[in-house]
Each structure stands twice: as structure tokens, then as C-alpha cells.
Structure 1
Amino acid sequence: MRATALRRTAVAATTVSLALLVTACGGGKEDSGDKGKDAPKASASASAAPDTKALSAAELEKLIVEQADVPGYQVQKAKPTDVVPSSAVTTDKPACKPLADALSFIATGNPGASVQRKAIAEPKKDTASSPEDIAGALGAPVTAVTLGSYDGNGAQNAFASLKTAGTECAGGFTLNGGGEKTKISKVAPEAVTAGEEAVAFTVTTDMDGEPFISKVVAFRKGNTLASFSVISLAGKVKEFPKAVVDAQAAKLA
């Protein structure tokens, strides 16, 4: 890939996912920080009821995927600068806001608490040093994992809004975030199975007339909603991260 093309897709990637790739290609494995040792053991196995209370951030820290859960990936805890408030991301079509949040490392709706991780696919160890190989290594898929926990039926409502966004925004929308406007040209459904209900989309962004392909996956388990946004500096994510999704589903079972 030419350097100019790589820079152009990098701009698109950071616009769509905000700070997701800021540290994706550098730095080592990070400690996931506070594990909430004083919090009771969390459980997300039961379906949410109207009187269900959201889990705390400390409880969610016990449930989100970590390094040991996903072989072949480098899992990092998101830095404060990686995550922006939902108010920092807007769309020209209100129905598309949930999808814009999922693309931007933000828990959909109004969770009582949320936590985030970055899962970076590790490049092959025998990668050569040619420009093509370097571009391929830099283009390793990066998955933003977000867990949100909700009071009452908040998780069901958040999931429903994301599913609706995939339908109503199929023809595209404009995402405003980080001071930039990004044109999403197409949102197409994909088949996925996880949790109690799940949805997945292939998202095509128009970048100077060139398609930038990313993926969004979300599933609900009880009153917890897990969402995954997958991008690559190479600009074309071919499949959603099944290993990451399955590992997260197993921890919420």
C-alpha cells in the first residue's frame, strides 16, 4: 500500500473510531488495572427484569475479555483518552446515533456503567520487512470491545435501537466526531449468533471515493450489552472477530 493511501485510511479510521487506533500499533500488553477486588462476583446469565439494577464498573471489569481469554490477540485496557462522552458524537439522522456510538467506542444508550478493551490481532511472527508486509502488519484488525450494564430494560432498549439503526441507516449517514465529518455510505447486515440476541453489520465509509470497510457486532446477555467495532489501517476488514466475540460471550454466560 502506498504511504499516502495508508495515511488517508488512517485518518478515516481515527475519525470513525475516534481514538481506537491511537495506541494500537505501539506499546506492549497492559495491565487491565483495577479488577474490582472488593466487588461481589458478577453474573450476567439471567435475563433482565424491570427491577434489575446495572452492574458497577468494578463488576464489569471482571466480565470483560482479558489477555488470557483471546489467544492471538493483544488485549489492552482503554486509556481515558480513548473513550469520549456520547455527546461528542452526533449524526445527521437521529436513528443512526446508536450505530455511531458503537463505531466510536461508546456504550449505546444510557448504561449505569461501562468498560472498554482493545483487542489487537497479533501479526505473524515471520512477517518480512518489505513495504507490503509492513503495511499488512500495520493493517492488523483492531477490535474495540465495550460492555455496558443497564437498569431495568435498558439493555433490551439499547439493543433494539442499534438493530433499528442498522435498518434505517442502511443507505448511509454522516457521523460527526473529533471535529470531523465522516460519510458512512452503506450499512449491511451480517449473520451472527451470541448471547440472547445479537446483530452484526458491515459498515462502508466513503473516503475520497474509496471504500473503507469496518465491522460492528453487538449482543445482549441479561442486562449487559457487549459491542465490538472492528477496523484496520488497511481499510478493509473482511470478517468480524469471532474469537473475540465468542470469548466475551463465554465470560457473560
Structure 2
Amino acid sequence: MEGTAAAVRGRTSLPAAALALALAVTACGAGGGSREAGDAKPSPSSAEEGTGGSAARKAAGRERLEAAAFEAGGTAASYSVSPVTEEPLWDLMEYRADRAECQPLVSLAAGAVDDDPVAEVHREVELDDFGLDGGPTGRGVAVQLRSYGPGGAARVLSALRKAGTECAGGFTEERVLAEAVYRSVEPVEEPEAGDEAVAYRLRIEDVKDAELVLTEYLTVVRSGSTTLSFRLEALSPDDPGPVPDDLVRAQWEAFEKSGAGA
């Protein structure tokens, strides 16, 4: 079980079979598991008092994002979308960067940067099957749509660019029971969508075996006051490749069609 545990880090909501295995290996001490990027739960006060004002405004913002998000249980490009639309099970755990400027690479939820989202929605996309016969090979992408107050989304992208530069040499992600060392943060080609975009390749040591380095990809697109975030993770130590262009394009087109950015 130790070998499998070393390969399991999953922040995203995995397919049912994968989730069961991930929970089992976590019990064996893998130390893995958070949400999209270790998003810390906002306090009740920040949820009501943060950028975005009233609960009614938040509800309206969420409704617009829901209309722009992939259909739960449907398909996105050629990929399957999980029917689960709530924040992943891993949300129960808080992951924080040891340096504040690196936090946007770990999390974009409330408290990650100076601007909290007014509203956000979550989707999980499965890029390929979970191979029980050949070991854990499933790749998944956590997709988050977040809206902000005036200027907030632009400041989020600015914070991400700063993190990509100042944290390029690595940093430490502090978890509930362990620490994960980011060895490097490398820019990769960003998609041609929205007003601006950033994309990074993250190389992270496994919490049980520093010789095993796992790879994640983070792509964030901004359109006006909204960000579209894509975090790709895999259950295999092999480089899973960047967030697929057709997946980003499908979400961008759905967003534009919905008019959520108007």
C-alpha cells in the first residue's frame, strides 16, 4: 500500500472508485488531500461581510456563474463532468503557503489574496478513466468560476503573476498533518482567452517520499470581474501534461454564451 500512497496526493474530487482508494491510502499515511488548491474555509463573518456585500448579491452572482459553468453530470468537450457541484471533500482541510506571496498558487478562495470572491461555483472534470487494473492513472481538473468586486479579478491575476516570479524557486505548503515542498513553479503557455491569463507547471515533492516529485498544472483566465480557474492533478507520478486547450476553450465559450461576464 505504501507505493500507491506515495502517488496519491489528490486535491480534487476524484471519481468514486478513485476517491475510495484515495481515502484508504490516506488512512495509511499518505498525507494527501485538500481541495482545488487547499482553499481555506472563510469564517461566517467574512462570508457575509467580504467583497460583494449582501447575501442577495452573492446569491445572484452564484446564479450567473452556475449558468456559465459546465452542466453537472454532463460533458465538457469530450470529458465527463462529475454530478457533484459542492466543494470537494478535501475542503475540510486547510493548506497554506509558508510565504504569503505564494498563497495564490495554493488557493484562490476567500482569504488567499486581498480580494475575496463575491461568488464561486465548482466543477470536477475527469479527463480519463481510473485504471484499477493498471494502477491509479486518472487525471482530473478542478474548475472554479469566481466573481469579484470592482478591480478584484485583475488584482488576483496580478497576485498570481507575482507568485509565479517570487516563488519560482519553490516554497512549502503547510497541511494539517504534513508539509509539501514545491520544488519549482514554471510558466507554461497560457490560453488565448479572456482579458488575460496565466498558466503554471508546479513540481511538488510527495509528502512521504522526497524522491517522488509530482506535477500539477494551474491555469487561470480573467474576463472582466470573473476568473476561470483550472487545476489539473493526477494519481500517477508521471507528468500528466497541461490543462487541455479544448477544456479551457469549452468553458470559455460557455461563459461567453451565458452572458455572465456582461
Q: 2-side partners of 1:56 and 1:249: how far apart? A: 17
Q: 2-side partners of 1:74 and 1:121: how far apart? A: 9
Q: Counterparts of 1:15-30 in structure 2 under 5 Å?
A: 17=11, 20-21=13-14, 23=16, 25=18
TM-score by length of 1: 0.73
Q: Counterparts of 1:42-191 in structure 2 under 5 Å?
A: 56-66=61-71, 67-82=74-89, 84=91, 88-102=94-108, 109-123=115-129, 131=133, 134-135=134-135, 138-191=136-189
Identity of aligned residues (%): 24
Aligned-partner residue type, residue 216 of structure 1: L
Aligned to 2:253: 250
Aligned-partner residue type, residue 70 of structure 2: V
Query: Secondary structure, in 3 states, of the residue corresponding to 1:163?
Result: helix
Give CA deviations for 1:177-217 in whole Å, capped at 9, x if unaligned: 34331111111000112211011111000122121011111
CA RMSD of superposed structures (Å)? 2.9
Aligned to 2:43: none
Query: Secondary structure, in 3 states, of the residue corresponding to 1:88?
Result: coil
Q: 1-side partners of 2:174 and 2:14: how far apart? A: 18
Distance 1:82 1:162, change over 3 A: farther
Q: 2-side partners of 1:157 and 1:72: how far apart? A: 31
Query: Secondary structure, in 3 states, of the residue corresponding to 1:56?
Result: helix
The more displaced of 179-188 and 233-242 is 233-242
Q: 1-side partners of 2:215 and 2:187: how far apart? A: 13
Of residues 3, 6, 20, the one that matches 1:5 is: 3
Q: Larger relative contact order (C-alpha < 8 A, sep ≥ 6)?
A: 1
Aligned to 2:196: 197
Preserved contact between residue 114 and residue 148 of structure 1 (Cα < 8 Å)? yes
Distance 1:230 1:81, change over 3 A: closer
Q: 2-side partners of 1:81 and 1:232: how far apart? A: 16
Give the C-alpha shift of residue 7 in structure 1: 1.7
Give the C-alpha shift of residue 5 in structure 1: 2.6
TM-score by length of 2: 0.71
Give the C-alpha shift of residue 4 in structure 1: 3.4
Give CA deviations for 1:140-183 in whole Å, capped at 9, x if unaligned: 21000011100101111111111211111111111123433111
- The count of corresponding residues between Structure 1 and Structure 2 is 211
Aligned to 2:25: none
Distance 1:218 1:149, change over 3 A: same
Give the C-alpha shift of residue 224 in structure 1: 0.6
Give CA deviations for 1:17-67 in whole Å, capped at 9, x if unaligned: 2x533747369xxxxxxxxxxxxxxxxxxxxxxxxx876112111111222
Which structure 2 segments of 5+ residues have no match?
Answer: 21-56, 257-262
Q: Counterparts of 1:216-231 in structure 2 under 5 Å?
A: 216-231=218-233
